[in-house]
Chain A
């Protein structure tokens, strides 16, 4: 008995020493990421190599709609919380490096191409605020004022564009604006025009050329070619839902740069159980895919061959995989209740899936669809890998 006990202690000590050594050993951060525990205000730092949680950091406030961007060196995550909190999380030290409450209610953010500016999109008081990425000191405040009464608009779809610029959309005003920080001093603001009624989110392609805003209040999307000398807004896919009655939307779809898959954009329809395929050259419809229910995220695997899709409440237990060349659903499975988010490893060999109401994150092989592992987290939502640092618009 004593020998057994001694052996156990010895093994435990050895394991502890190994773990402690791992914590202090030199390491890169390119295979790290952050998973939001939305109900607990906590962000868990994970390793995609080890398929493990390294540490969970508390004290990030209300993370009911949280997102993250990363510093160019991939050491820091900037996490945008619903309560207006902006938290700079150190992935190496596994602790909060800095945190400010920058607004009353925020929805997301972006980091400039040079990594020096972090911009936050606000619901309350609206507009966009821009911070120094090192100190989190405020550098600029861009109120999104519209109409003759000078109302303040909520902003959505805030992205970085090449040349120290940010592009964003005014939810209440239906306009798209650009803020240019390429010259010293106050940013140059360009109002690009009207997108349409109630734009809910937007994306920019990885090359920084195309900005596309989705509309909730109209059947259609708005597109801006930022390579144009004077960028203008064009409506695309107008009237895509006119032949079918719209269903109630229990969760807004999300748009990100991963919508571009090969020669098509694959976009979630609003109020219809469909994906819309858009020809990436002509910007005309290139087909549709009937899917399980209303899509929330349609995320292209990094090679663009397949798109993984999750769905709105109450049919949110399912994931479908769409083959892009044939626009056919080639795989369907049910990870569990409330699949909220999916994130591919940078080269697309695996995909991490958060299953909120099962308190679990599942890891799948992105080609064979076999399950590779699972992690236990409390009400996990957004999954953000540090490799996003290298991608415009993410």
Chain B
């Protein structure tokens, strides 16, 4: 079932990411406490507009399928600078560039669901 495949895929991505086996050098990734805080922020605060399950709301859906083919850096730039003329605010100052990339990879891998 495609549904099960997705969750397995997500689980694997999540485990790999936690182990620091995917993505850039582990030194750039947020550490334990910060990572936990960021994870909570993405789920709860991004989730306020994009939905806790990222199926969308006032903001666009952000499921792996929706982000397929979009560069990590493109997503990170939207996180950092927002989308002018829409309610998407710039998160620069609250998250660093490497954290924005970590969020982008996490969204694409579905680790926040």
Task: Give Cα distance in the complex from A200 to B87, angstroms.
Answer: 9
Whether B87 pairs with A62 at a CB distance below 8 angstroms is no
Q: Do the beta carbons of B48 and A124 come within 8 Å of each other?
A: no
A248 to B81, CA, bound (A): 10
A-chain residues with CB within 8 Å of residue B57 when the two chains form the complex: 64-65, 82, 105, 107, 123
Which bracket fits the contact residues of A?
20 to 34
Chain B positions within 8 Å of A200 at CB level = 58, 87
Stretch at the interface among B39-47, B67-75, B100-108: B39-47
A133 at the interface (CB under 8 A from B): no
Name the CB-closest residue of B to A216: B87
- Contact across chains for B89 and A38 when beta carbons are under 8 A apart: no
Among the 9-residue stretches A220-228, A249-257, A278-286, the one with 4 or more Cβ atoms under 8 Å from chain B is A249-257
Q: In the assembled complex, which residues on chain B have CB atoms less than 8 Å from the CB atom of A314?
A: 94
B30-83 at interface with A (beta carbon < 8 Å) = 40-41, 43-45, 47-49, 51-53, 55-58, 82
In the complex, which residues of chain A have a beta carbon less than 8 angstroms from the beta carbon of B43? 39
Given A64-B53, A154-B58, A252-B49 in contact, is the A379-B89 Cβ separation under 8 Å?
Answer: no
Residues of A within 8 A of B2 (CB): none
Check A198 against B87 for contact (C-beta < 8 Å).
yes
Give CA–CA (A315, B89) in the complex, Å: 15
Task: Return the contact of B47 from the options A64, A198, A249 (Cβ within 8 A).
Answer: A64
A250 touches B52 (CB 8 A): no
* A353 in contact (CB, < 8 A): no
With both beta carbons as reference points, the residue of chain B lying nearest to A379 in the complex is identified as B44
Contact of A357 with B by CB under 8 A: yes
Q: Which residues of A contact B82 (CB under 8 A)?
A: 248
Task: Enumerate chain A residues within 8 angstroms of B44, measured Cβ to Cβ.
Answer: 39, 338, 356-357, 379
- Which residues of chain B have a CB within 8 Å of any CB of chain A? 40-41, 43-45, 47-49, 51-53, 55-58, 82, 85-87, 89-91, 94
Top-5 shortest CB links A-B: A248-B89, A64-B52, A313-B45, A64-B47, A62-B53
Q: Contacts A65-B51, A198-B86 given; 4 further ones with Cβ under 8 A?
A: A83-B55, A123-B57, A248-B82, A379-B44
